[in-house]
Structure 1
Amino acid sequence: MAQTAVSVCLVLTLSLIQGVSCQEWGVNLTHYHICAVSRSSVVMPCSFNHPPNLTVAKVFWAKDPQPATERTDLSNNPEYKDRVLYSGTKNCTMTLKHIKLSDAGFYHPRIVTNIAKQKWLGQPGLNLFITELSVWIPRPVVEGREVKMSCNNSCSPAQKPTVIWRKNGVDVSAQQTKHDQLILGRVSVEDEGNYSCALKSFQGYPSKPVRLNVMFSPKNTTLSITSTDKILKGTSVTLTCSSDANPPVENYTWFKVNQSTPVGSGQQYSITNISFEDGGQYYCEARNKYGADNSTVKSITVEGPPNHTSASVSPSGDLKEGTSVTLTCSSDVTPPVENFTWFYSDGSTASQVGAGKYYMIGQGSSEHNGYYYCEAKNKHGASNSTDIHLIFHYAPRNTSVSMSPSGEIVDGSSVTLTCSSDANPPVENYTWFKVDDSTPVGSGQQYSIANISSEDGGQYYCEARNKYGAENSTAVLMEIHVDHTLVMYVVIGVSSGCGLLGLLFFIRLKCKAEKIEETNQVNDIYDNDTFDHNTDIDSVYQNYTPGGAGNEDDDDEIYQNA
């Protein structure tokens, strides 16, 4: 407070009788009011003036004196024993130590002179307020929000005591204070600490410190694994989630990347007898009433022998003979497969046919038909794929016809023709043909003729067909045998006719030969030097008859009779 010199003039009856001027008496108090902190010491500055003809005998202070009663020296009060200190007779300043709440009240300086009735009592005195300091912090204090801390005291507003704030014993910037409040705009964890307040005039007597506890959602969430990132199949692993939160984390939840639902809960997540399917990326979520935070993703790699080994074929579907085929071996395993081996089985025994991830068949044929599988191996073991059954399909081939009965076929009996063919897939349609007939005579693998007749004789063949093509058999001859008596007559007639024709033919040839011979003889006569060229040639031919037989007309007549 501003110091104010207060002159108090007390008019005493005795002084007036003796003619003493009131202006010669005076008490100067620096403060009307003082607000002191409990347990501290307070100084009450005071000075006075007195008439020069008086000698000051004693200066003391009285508390709440009652009118018309003798003022009691405060130092003689047992409640103030050893706590009151006077400055002497030169001034009236008093120091009160170890202040209690009960010390509050009005204090008056008392000046006693050498004349018994010449006494002075300072009026209106000094009003002493005693206060306890305490820090009040609203609850809860949440990170990111504004917080206002108050320094509670019982000093009157008119006194307007200056409040100072300390964090962990260090003064806080004055720019943050407003009256008796400390305002933090956006509180953070860094603002946490022990806060106390003090009155500027009593800095040595601060309030008890109060902890500023900032609430915040989980942060710095981490995931740790009890073992290395590479775990052998069949062993166990434990994942632990840690997070910084206030209040502490209430719920931990475990997730696996690419799975929509949680895989576990609790601060720890354990996997026993781990499998390849358990491998992947994991993370945890830490949550309290103020929010949640996720850890970074942690990968778990499960090692072991090859798993889910499979073989595939390209192209897939039906394979036609002559097609090129590639077999591929795949396995889901860590560490990767070191060796792939291919095997072929005919259903009873297996043999190695190749190595490597791929096995190729250049021109597939029925010889390649069978079962194929691959073996995948790494440092932890090996596993086999399931079998792939390769079948190369082809059009019918080696098509042939068999006849039953196979011996002599008699007119009126029955016969069955059977068509056979090698095909994959099997023959779908059999069709029967008779040579020189434009239309089929039947269908099905067998073709039967009942009550056979001579008209059924001839050459027959079959056509075998599947989805990949068709092939015809060679033709077989079907000969029909009739009744033996009739056959004998036919044979005799045919033989006789053939013999007669042969005889006639022989006779004609002989005649022609004789004619040629006679002609040659005539030519010899011309060529002979003894021949008379003047001989009349016509006379030679006039009497010539070849072989003594008739002429050519006679020969033709013989053939006509035949």
Structure 2
Amino acid sequence: MILTASGFFVFLLCMPAVQSLDSWGGTYSSTNICAVNGSTVEISCIYTYPSKIKHQVNTVQKTFWFTQRKDGEPVDLKTDSEYAGRVEDLCENNICTLIIKNLRESDSAEYRFRFITNKDAYTASPGVTLSVTDPDLLMNVMEIMIDQGISRTKLQCRSRCLLPHDPSYIWYKNGQKIRAETFTHSVNFYSADSFSCALKGHEKFPSPSECVDGQNCNRVIHTDRSICAFKGSSVDISCIYSSYESITDGFWFSPERSHQGQNHSQPEDLSEDSQYKGRVQILDTERGRSTLRISDLRDSDSAQYLFKFKTTSFEWRSDLPGTTLTVTDPDLKVQVQVQGGKSSSWSKLQCYTSCRLPHGSSYIWYENGLKMAKETFSYSVYFGFASSYSCAVRGHEDFPSPPVCVTGQTCNRVIYTEISICALKGSSVDISCSYNSYKVYVNSKFWFSPERSHQGQNPSQPEDLSEDSQYEGRVQILDTERGRSTLRISDLRDSDSAQYLFTFRTPSFEWGSDLPGTTLTVTALQVQVITSTVHQSYTYAELKCRSSCSPAGVSYVWFKNNEKIIKEERSLYEDRFYPGDIIFCALKGHENCSSPLLYALKFPVVSVSPSDDIMEGSSVTLTCSSDANPAANYTWYKENGNQKLHPLTKERQLVFSSIQVSDSGEYNCTAENELGKRTSERITVDVKYSPKLPSVSASPSAEIEEGSSMTLTCSSDANPAADYTWYKENRTLFQGAEGSYHVTSISSEDRGNYYCKSENQYGEINSTSLFVDVQYAPKPPSVSVSPSAEREEGSSVTLTCSSDANPAANYTWYKKNEDSAKASGQIFNISDFRAEHSGSYSCEAQNKLGRSNSTFHLIVVTGAWKSRAVGITTAVVLSVILLSIFLLIWKKKAAKRSSEPGEPPDNSKQSPQEELLYANVQFSKNQADPLSSNIEDSVVYAEVQFHSAAPRSQMSATEESTALYSTINTTRTQ
């Protein structure tokens, strides 16, 4: 059954009256009523009264409803401004009905009915307690049907409180809104589904999500709908959750925070949000329960917080509201409980608040404006009727509770109308308070500022502001009614921003000043950009002259480029603004207190630090500056041809802590505010660095043949460009800015290791070695014979052929007049050397580039030749010896004859025995033709000739010669 306002009303009227018609009485239809914000409630009372009193007619003169108040007489609700237009009072047949429409939370109170007759007045007590609250909805499962395997249910949304007339509903399935607007809803479902409902217009207060079947459906239920907490404190926000499948991920998020990201549909995990870094903990103390703990609460933390989970095939939606956190200043009150009855002078004081206090909070208590030593949230005190009490949370002393009297309303106290006031520079402000003194005449009262008093000689004695020279002519004290004082300060200045307090004195009492007073903040006007449209050369914008405390009913003056705009006296101003335009505003009559200047964006200027050469690895800062108000937002870009890369940073400075070569390039920045966007000129960043490791190459890179040309190239990355030096085996070959070394006709002597050096003013570096392999045809071979002594018949002879060639040569042995090769390889071995082996041999060296050979002669020495040679040799030696002896003797005789006087020498008479013999030894050697490709290694012969000594005229006739041949070891021929 759904309770409607009318149905509820009928139910209430059916209650019987218990009083007799002849007695005073009043019976209410109910003593407690719960109603939803915005709904209508009807409260009825049946009243009775005696028709006659002492035989005189008793008639009703007036009926009305009122709320119970602690002070003053009852006030008819129809005359109360808080209920204007929302209250009706219908009376008929001793039944009076109060109708209150569009209920508010402030309407929560106890309502009583009172009637006045010509003889007396009567109030029906106790009254009716009305609680105006948010919807308290529940979802009921009316029935479940299964047809052909399909499950279907009928759901009902109901409330314990009175609802607005003809309400509409919103239904949710698995946290996601579905289309349905009636209080009942029929739908197909699965065991994993959960459902919830809400009253349209009250979506923040849905019913808890309920499973249709079992308790393991997908759902999230937040423990609190709203939480109030103090700045600087900590708060725990909790929920319970369940899933039909295994949960793979779960996290807390805030829709307000998520909307600040790039993808609104993807909520951001608060534990990864930089704004909550170090202040957020996720506590999963038990399965199916998660708690978000936020520490050091700030104003910006006021937001809605929700929990979300995912499975492999399901994601909980976030259409349902979570927990709303309000971070505020303390809203403290002191509750007084008199102990031991009305005649007792003992009371229990308790400090309480509607918000959650920080864990382990300490308290400060004040008596008559002076701080006490108590630090607990409650304590018992022996009070005097003149005393008032106040409390505050330590750390939040600027927000104490209002002082309260323990009894009555005439204790000593000061209550400031406002904790803080913001006022415009150049304007006026009224700072007010109400005060009481316990039945004692006040003989002194004044306003003062603690900041101003401390500038005097005695800090403990506050100084009356009306006597302060800094306020001379600008301060008035207005006492328009008893118990109320107002401080008016005119022509406000920045220095007037301070705290202001009121104090009073009686002959025996002075109000203390430990409690804070009213804090005044003097602020200047600001020019705010409401809308703007950026064009290529100008910006069209709508501006507003405002401050954080703009007064009403004042006129404004606008200035553009220091010229007053006559036609504008409103707070709004629209116009075209070009780069460099200056705009400001002021209150009319207070032009000397104008707003700060607003600049239309000028073109930004870029600077580089350091301004000299930028070395690789150094720290470099690019700064973008634009004279702008509102302050400009900056973005840095690096040019890449005609395409711009993604923004590098959105800071005013682009900082390279260790700049690299890749950072070289052209940069510019943009400056942007509400009045446009401008781009700077490009600036070039040229990163200098010493040469990198050079790379070396040879061209041609393949085989290099002797006689061809070759180019060696050295390349090294350097800024500025490097100079190069080429080396071969530490011998300098070339120096210059070009890294190439040319050889026009390369020879075998050029073969070897090469490297280069690159250098600039910042450093130098050597390359790795490059081996140049010059290839050439074999040079004329050389042949050696082993053994080198006489080669006898039957001995072993080893011939070795060697030729300088690249690539290495292959060797082939030939014998003259034979068609086929004798052997291949560098060594040719004859194991049994015989006479047939004598003759001319040649060795041929060959590679792919050419061939070359060498010819030589071998002779075998047999046994007969050896004996004959020995005999001939012996005879020759003996002949030489005998001839030598003969010549010696002959010389001696000739000497004697020549020594005789008168006998000249007679050459004609010489005998044949006296002939001289000459031994002529000649060596003949066949020189090979150096231009021939076949070079013969000739056998060298020793030719011995003997000649008889005769007169030169006769030598031709008598000359005889004998040639002797002797085998000499073969010698190498070049």
Give TM-score scaled by structure 1 length.
0.49
Q: Which has the larger radius of gyration?
A: 1
Give TM-score scaled by structure 2 length.
0.30
